Amino acid sequence: MGLLKDAPVGWDWVVFVILMLSTLAFDGVSATPAWQDFTVALKPFWLPLGAFGLFLERTLGLILLTVAFLLIFIAFMEAVVYFGRRKVDMKVTVSTFALTLVPIALVYNAAHNYSYILVNSQYFIPLLNDPLGKGWHLLPALAAFKPNFGLANASTVWYADIVLIVLGHIVAVVLSHLRAGERFRTAQRALLSQYPMLVLMVLYTMTSLWILSQPITREI
């Protein structure tokens, strides 16, 4: 019970976690051909407002996606409580299980930015040789170093993304199961309560992989 008492409680924490998920998802979705086609279809509405119109369209898209994520999560939490067959403080319960989604948000962030991190982090190595750009040769052996773009080819990135997301979801499922053991009286009720969470996490896994698999298009 010590872990439960130490867990932050409140709708602000729930919304924060949902925002971690929805903002990353929207960033990925907004770069897909489907979203670009949607933006073009709405052009008669936002184009008269110029850059602000495009900003407004994307802001509304992010808000709607965040609200959808939040409502779906709350709906699944209702199912968790129903299968757990116990009267619980809904705010505490929702907060408790929302925090188990943090590993998913972290690994999706890593997967979403995998290529950027892997390639650009390599530029740190030649900086060790000439950190101020003064033509120094503090470590001559590093002067000829060139970033390896082969590590960011499509197949490597895809498999790395799959591994990251699956591992993150496994950690989230384990944490959710531990929380269920704290919230519900019997092991059977705790197990039953986790079926909705398992379905939710599988759906998010599928959504995450679908977004990452989409071709990236240039912004309008």
**What is the pLDDT tens value at each position of the chain, 220 positions in all?**
444 445 677 888 899 999 999 998 898 888 888 888 888 888 888 888 888 888 898 999 999 999 999 999 999 988 888 887 767 777 888 888 888 899 988 988 888 888 778 887 888 787 787 777 777 777 777 777 777 777 777 778 888 888 888 898 889 988 888 888 777 767 777 788 888 888 988 888 888 888 878 776 555 5
Asked if residues 24 and 112 have their Cβ atoms less than 8 Å apart, the reply is: yes
Q: Which residues of 65-104 are buried (b: 16+ CB within 10 A; e: fewer)?
A: bbeebbeebeebbeebbebbeeeeeeeebbbbbbbbbbbb
The upper half-sphere exposure of residue 39, i.e. CA atoms within 13 Å in the direction of its Cβ, equals 23
Cα 128 to Cα 138: distance, rounded to the nearest angstrom: 7
Asked if residues 212 and 163 have their Cβ atoms less than 8 Å apart, the reply is: no
Asked if residues 128 and 142 have their Cβ atoms less than 8 Å apart, the reply is: yes
Q: Give Cα 208 to chain centroid, integer Å.
A: 8
- Quote the pLDDT of residue 95: 87
Q: How many residues does the chain have?
A: 220
Q: What counts of helices (H) and strands (E) characterise the chain?
A: 11, 0
Residue pointed to by tokens 């929805």: 22
Cα 54 to Cα 208: distance, rounded to the nearest angstrom: 25
pTM assigned to the model: 0.77
- Quote the pLDDT of residue 62: 93
- Quote the pLDDT of residue 3: 44
- Which tokens hold the place of 146? 């060139």
Cα separation values, 87 from 70, 80, 162, 191, Å? 22, 11, 38, 17
Cα 22 to Cα 31: distance, rounded to the nearest angstrom: 14
Q: DSSP for 90-109, please give it.
A: HHHHHHHHHGGGHHHHHHHH
